[in-house]
Amino acid sequence: MIAAQPSPTAATGPAGHAVLPALLSKPTPAVMGVLNVTPDSFSDGGQFAAPESALAQARRMVAEGADIIDIGAESTRPYGSEPISAEEELRRLQPVLPGVVALGVPVSIDSMKSAVVAWALDQGAAIANDVWGLQRDAGMAGVVAERGVPVIIMHNRDSADPAIDIMQDIANFFAASLDIAARAGISTDKIVLDPGIGFGKTPEQSMIALARLAELQSFGLPLLVGASRKRFISTVTPSEPHQRLGGSIAAHLLAAENGARIIRAHDVAETVQALRVTAAIREQG
């Protein structure tokens, strides 16, 4: 069986009840650094697949000011990702995740498989990050409820449909996910909502979700935005993923202005600087 029993320190370590309130109490949005231990991520595929490279990158992001490290071992890029087994996902995580947890910042596990999330939480990960919002794996909500950890519920679709009202679709999806969470016993003070920029959306719909992000505050829950290096940026100014820093920061500053309390980014130092400088300028107004 993949999932282990919770370790004696799991409930009192970084996965304790105070993680989310501490992150949300920061004067600027918390920055979640992306750590992909995959060979095929859209942005940095293979760059950090080796355990030593992944750990070095995690240390670098912590030094640059990351408040959370989001570790994923299966590419969930919307265009052309190949699914892998839970066993393969764990094989990639096992040499890396415990070392990242040991760095002392909260770690979120980016996985759509409940068995993988259970294992990671039992190793000290603090947050579950489900790109299918509790709706793809029937066991996910139970794992999150049992461990008592925060969960990020992200909006997703199997394919983009330019004809739909994307904000209504996001709202309907969140309502369904929140119903699943409530039935499983997940308290609302442990839920973060993510509109899923780039997932199941046309580039225009991703920009609509960013432009109208404030509407999602009606749920009364903290919002996370991850627009980092996403494809919509290249439809405005043609660019490859590694050339989209400016567009990523622009999107994230607007997201913060419209209520995002967590920003998920590949470029941690630049994102932290942009958020802090923006806040410092506003203080002078």
201 is catalytic: no
Residues contacting 29, CB < 8 A, separation 6+: 256, 260, 261, 262, 263, 275
26 is catalytic: no
* Residue found under tokens 């066993």: 87
Q: Is 82 helix (H, G, I), strand (E, B) or coil?
A: coil
Residues contacting 122, CB < 8 A, separation 6+: 3, 4, 5, 6, 7, 10, 147
Which entry of 113, 147, 190, 230 is annotated as an active-site residue? 230
d(CA 206, CA 244): 15
Residues contacting 179, CB < 8 A, separation 6+: none
Q: Are 222 and 193 in contact (CB under 8 A)?
A: yes
Which entry of 92, 113, 147, 264 is annotated as an active-site residue? 264
The residues carrying an active-site annotation are: 230, 264
